[in-house]
Amino acid sequence: MSAAGSGLALRLREATAAQHRQAERSPFMAALIGGSADRRSYQQLLHNLLPIYAALEPLLQTHRGHAWLAPVWAPALARLPALGNDIAELQRLAPSDLGPPLPASVHYAQRLNGLMLDTTSRDTAMARLLGHAYVRYLGDLSGGQVLRRVVARQLDLSGASGTAFYDFGAPDQAAALLQRWRESLAALPAEGALADAAVQEACWSFDQHLRLFNALEAFMPPQGITPR
């Protein structure tokens, strides 16, 4: 049985499959992956991911020794520095007023910052944190690699300029990180209160991502306008 087909990996994949498809097929993401979005909409995506990663990664780093996080967290996964650099580089190339983060992004960051306060135990909080990491990093390591190539071509970006967020090194390095993630998840228990918490939080995360993508539609170029 494959790493994605056993343990918590299988349960997470099955529980979030419908939401995952809905998020991927949202008009905003479909436009971005289809090459019909523009620099402004891509900048807004990164701008609104920044508060999420600014809340997520310090928690993962602080609690990296916990039994539910140690197998899946690695420094190579950290996206926050590259995300900030991409935003700065895109602003250098084409300055624009990004405005404040959207409410869906702010609400997501608040959810992460409140994990240690809103759950009944530290173990439950760590399992919920794993649910968030599952949604973000597996997305970055899989679909994010496709998005990187499309955006670089569409926006005429060279090297890692503006797309370092999706850069995990050479393709074999990204593939190895992805495989490690799946194997680590497969080794975690698929049943019990902690597994339930991880799955529930991953489902919430996908729902909130869909709300964010729906809000980001406001920054898409009008139909009939060639994106630049």
- Over range 157-185, report the average pLDDT: 89
* pLDDT number for residue 224: 42
**Has residue 192 been placed in a domain?**
yes
* pLDDT number for residue 4: 53
**Has residue 20 been placed in a domain?**
yes
**Has residue 194 been placed in a domain?**
yes
**Has residue 47 been placed in a domain?**
yes
Quick check: 23 pLDDT over 70?
A: yes
Quick check: 28 pLDDT over 60?
A: yes
* Tens-place pLDDT, residues 47-100: 999 999 999 999 999 999 999 999 889 999 999 999 999 999 999 988 989 999
| CATH code, domain carrying 200 | 1.20.910.10
The model scores a pTM over 0.75 = yes
- Report yes or no: 194 and 123 within 8 Å, Cβ to Cβ: yes
- DSSP sequence for 65-94: TSTTTTTT--GGG--HHHHHHHHHHHHHHS
**Helix crossing, 122-141 with 143-154: angle to 10°?**
50
- Report yes or no: 190 and 10 within 8 Å, Cβ to Cβ: yes
d(C-alpha 61, C-alpha 63), whole Å: 6
**Has residue 23 been placed in a domain?**
yes
**Has residue 225 been placed in a domain?**
no
Q: Considering its fold, how many domains does the chain have in total?
A: 1
d(C-alpha 212, C-alpha 209), whole Å: 5
* Tens-place pLDDT, residues 200-225: 999 999 999 999 999 999 999 886 44
At 122, phi and psi to the nearest 5?
-65, -40
Domain with 85 in it: 11-219
**Has residue 6 been placed in a domain?**
no
**Has residue 4 been placed in a domain?**
no
* Tens-place pLDDT, residues 112-144: 999 888 656 889 999 999 999 999 999 999 989
d(C-alpha 14, C-alpha 225), whole Å: 38
How many other C-beta atoms can be found within 10 angstroms of the C-beta atom of residue 101?
19
* pLDDT number for residue 225: 46
